[in-house]
Amino acid sequence: MVEAMAGPAGRYALDGSDEDLGRLLMVANVSEGMARSAFGRVGVHNGWRAIDCGCGPVGALPILSELVGPTGRVVGIDFSEPTVERARSVAAALRLDNVEVRRGDVHDWDAAALGGPFDIAYTRLFLVHQADPVRTLRHIAGLLRPGGWIVAQEPLPSPGPRSHPHHDALGAYWDLLHRLVDHAVGGGPRHPVEELARSARAAGLEVVAVDGTLATMDPEMGFDLHASSLAAARERAASSGSGVEQEIDALVSELRAAKDGAYDWVSTPFYLDLTLRKPSTATSTS
């Protein structure tokens, strides 16, 4: 079990399969408005250098590419080789000429090696997988120029996804998924997202704004997205010996069956939306 959970891949509770990559593309589409709003508050503009930490197959790469323009530069970084290849294919298909995607653990890179320092770093569904968010935030801050920004959008354990009318399986799925993430990070705080503002301060960052956001989706899309998220965790759950495969299968079936029910909408999780800034003197974050 130790070997199965070791390294950056072990910290990611989902399986990185083609099905999971498709799910992450869907997440990026649903989350686009949330990302644009955050980048607007920070004032991302032409010529900036941006990095998307844990970018997945698309992340915020197209949005950042558009905002920084042809004189700017965007770097995506992810530890999964299939995901990086998919992200490169997406960038090529969309002609994102100012985007480069690198493979690796963000902790192993320094600013110079990635072409920084950067003006802004972005994380979504990334810090939730980190056993030590203070260490991770401190390292990300080291990739930024003095006065640079971090936008972190990470899902809270509560409130979980909702629907109208209410469906009990959504709450059960969300609780189970967080248990699996806790198991994957091993030894970290039980719900690190709740403590991210405190973690950011401990990393020497200024907490400029703390907000929250969610989006609603068409029921068919929403239930399918949540079912796929849970299904993607099944293989990792089996390899870790957590013994919840049957529970996962039952909840996935319930969520997928709900696509054909009389529901008006389904929501995303509630995201903690943090705007952080590196001090103009970088001694506390180096």
- Same domain membership, residue 235 and residue 149: no
What pLDDT is recorded for position 25?
Answer: 65
- Same domain membership, residue 171 and residue 148: no
d(CA 91, CA 99): 7
- Same domain membership, residue 202 and residue 173: no
Q: State the residue for tokens 């844990």.
A: 54
The CATH number given to whatever domain includes residue 142 is 3.40.50.150
SS3 state at 42: helix
Q: Is 276 among the domain residues?
A: yes
Domain residue limits at 174: 1-7+161-187+217-267
Q: Is 169 among the domain residues?
A: yes
- Same domain membership, residue 174 and residue 117: no
- Same domain membership, residue 179 and residue 110: no
- Same domain membership, residue 248 and residue 276: no
What total of structural domains would you count in the chain? 2
Residues 188, 193, 195: CA angle, nearest 5 degrees: 80
- Same domain membership, residue 181 and residue 148: no
Yes or no: say if 129 and 185 are a contact pair by the CB < 8 Å rule.
yes
Q: Is 278 among the domain residues?
A: yes
- Same domain membership, residue 281 and residue 223: no
CB-facing half-sphere around the CA of 201: CA atoms within 13 A: 7
- Same domain membership, residue 228 and residue 138: no
Residue 49: CB partners within 8 Å, gap ≥ 6?
68, 72, 73, 74, 75, 115, 116, 117, 118, 119, 120
Residue type at 59 in one-letter notation: G
- Same domain membership, residue 110 and residue 226: no
Closest CA to 248 of 223, 229, 275, 270: 229
What pLDDT is recorded for position 4?
Answer: 28
- Same domain membership, residue 144 and residue 278: yes
Q: Is 254 among the domain residues?
A: yes
Where the chain has pLDDT below 50, the residues are 1-15, 187-189, 282-286
- Same domain membership, residue 132 and residue 239: no
